Amino acid sequence: MSNETAERDPIEQTEPTNKKFKSSWIWNYWEEETQEFKGDLRQVIVCKVVDTSEQIPCGKIYVKSNGSTGNAINHLKNVHDITKDGKINKVC
Protein backbone atom coordinates (compact mmCIF):
# COMPACT_ATOMS: atom_id res chain seq x y z
CA MET A 1 0.00 0.00 0.00
CA SER A 2 1.42 3.34 -0.95
CA ASN A 3 1.41 6.37 1.35
CA GLU A 4 -0.98 8.12 -1.02
CA THR A 5 -3.55 5.30 -0.68
CA ALA A 6 -3.14 5.19 3.10
CA GLU A 7 -3.82 8.90 3.41
CA ARG A 8 -7.02 8.67 1.36
CA ASP A 9 -8.36 5.57 3.12
CA PRO A 10 -8.10 6.09 6.91
CA ILE A 11 -10.92 3.57 7.61
CA GLU A 12 -8.70 0.75 6.37
CA GLN A 13 -5.98 1.79 8.81
CA THR A 14 -8.25 2.06 11.87
CA GLU A 15 -10.45 -0.99 11.34
CA PRO A 16 -9.67 -3.70 13.91
CA THR A 17 -7.99 -6.79 12.51
CA ASN A 18 -9.11 -9.12 15.32
CA LYS A 19 -12.88 -9.02 14.80
CA LYS A 20 -14.64 -12.07 16.22
CA PHE A 21 -16.50 -14.16 13.65
CA LYS A 22 -20.23 -14.18 14.34
CA SER A 23 -21.42 -17.77 14.06
CA SER A 24 -24.90 -17.53 15.60
CA TRP A 25 -27.91 -17.81 13.31
CA ILE A 26 -29.37 -14.63 14.85
CA TRP A 27 -27.02 -12.39 12.84
CA ASN A 28 -29.25 -12.99 9.80
CA TYR A 29 -31.84 -10.85 11.62
CA TRP A 30 -29.77 -8.30 13.60
CA GLU A 31 -27.26 -5.57 12.76
CA GLU A 32 -24.61 -4.09 15.02
CA GLU A 33 -24.47 -0.32 15.33
CA THR A 34 -22.94 2.33 17.55
CA GLN A 35 -25.59 4.57 19.12
CA GLU A 36 -25.77 7.08 21.93
CA PHE A 37 -27.27 5.47 25.03
CA LYS A 38 -27.65 7.45 28.26
CA GLY A 39 -25.05 9.96 27.08
CA ASP A 40 -22.42 7.39 26.04
CA LEU A 41 -21.68 5.78 22.69
CA ARG A 42 -22.48 2.08 23.01
CA GLN A 43 -22.50 -0.93 20.74
CA VAL A 44 -26.07 -2.08 20.16
CA ILE A 45 -27.87 -4.64 18.03
CA VAL A 46 -30.94 -3.64 16.02
CA CYS A 47 -33.60 -6.06 14.77
CA LYS A 48 -33.95 -5.84 11.00
CA VAL A 49 -36.91 -8.23 10.57
CA VAL A 50 -39.40 -6.57 8.24
CA ASP A 51 -43.08 -6.50 9.22
CA THR A 52 -44.93 -8.01 6.25
CA SER A 53 -47.98 -5.79 6.63
CA GLU A 54 -46.20 -2.43 6.90
CA GLN A 55 -42.89 -3.29 5.18
CA ILE A 56 -40.77 -1.53 7.83
CA PRO A 57 -37.97 -3.05 9.92
CA CYS A 58 -38.79 -3.90 13.54
CA GLY A 59 -36.01 -1.71 14.97
CA LYS A 60 -35.92 -3.25 18.49
CA ILE A 61 -32.61 -2.32 20.12
CA TYR A 62 -30.56 -4.17 22.73
CA VAL A 63 -27.32 -2.81 24.21
CA LYS A 64 -24.51 -5.31 23.68
CA SER A 65 -22.94 -6.51 26.88
CA ASN A 66 -21.05 -9.78 27.10
CA GLY A 67 -21.83 -11.24 23.69
CA SER A 68 -24.84 -13.23 24.85
CA THR A 69 -27.53 -13.72 22.20
CA GLY A 70 -30.32 -14.79 24.59
CA ASN A 71 -32.35 -11.56 24.45
CA ALA A 72 -32.09 -11.48 20.66
CA ILE A 73 -33.20 -15.12 20.38
CA ASN A 74 -36.15 -14.55 22.72
CA HIS A 75 -37.19 -11.45 20.78
CA LEU A 76 -37.14 -13.33 17.46
CA LYS A 77 -39.17 -16.21 18.91
CA ASN A 78 -41.71 -14.19 20.90
CA VAL A 79 -42.26 -11.25 18.53
CA HIS A 80 -41.53 -12.63 15.06
CA ASP A 81 -42.09 -16.41 15.55
CA ILE A 82 -38.59 -17.11 14.26
CA THR A 83 -36.36 -19.86 15.66
CA LYS A 84 -33.07 -21.39 14.62
CA ASP A 85 -35.05 -23.74 12.36
CA GLY A 86 -36.97 -20.89 10.69
CA LYS A 87 -40.45 -19.39 10.96
CA ILE A 88 -42.85 -21.12 13.38
CA ASN A 89 -46.07 -22.30 11.75
CA LYS A 90 -48.88 -21.61 14.19
CA VAL A 91 -51.92 -23.86 14.08
CA CYS A 92 -55.18 -22.22 15.16
Q: The whole model's pTM is what?
A: 0.69
- pLDDT of amino acid 5: 42
**Under 8 Å between Cβ of 81 and 73:** no
- pLDDT of amino acid 33: 95
Q: Domain-by-domain residue ranges, the chain?
A: 27-83
What gap in Å lies between CA 82 and CA 18, rounded to an integer?
31
Cα-atom radius of gyration of the chain, to the nearest Å? 18
Reading the chain (92 residues) residue by residue, the pLDDT tens digits are 444 444 443 333 333 444 566 788 999 999 999 999 889 999 999 999 997 788 899 999 999 888 789 999 999 999 999 999 988 776 65
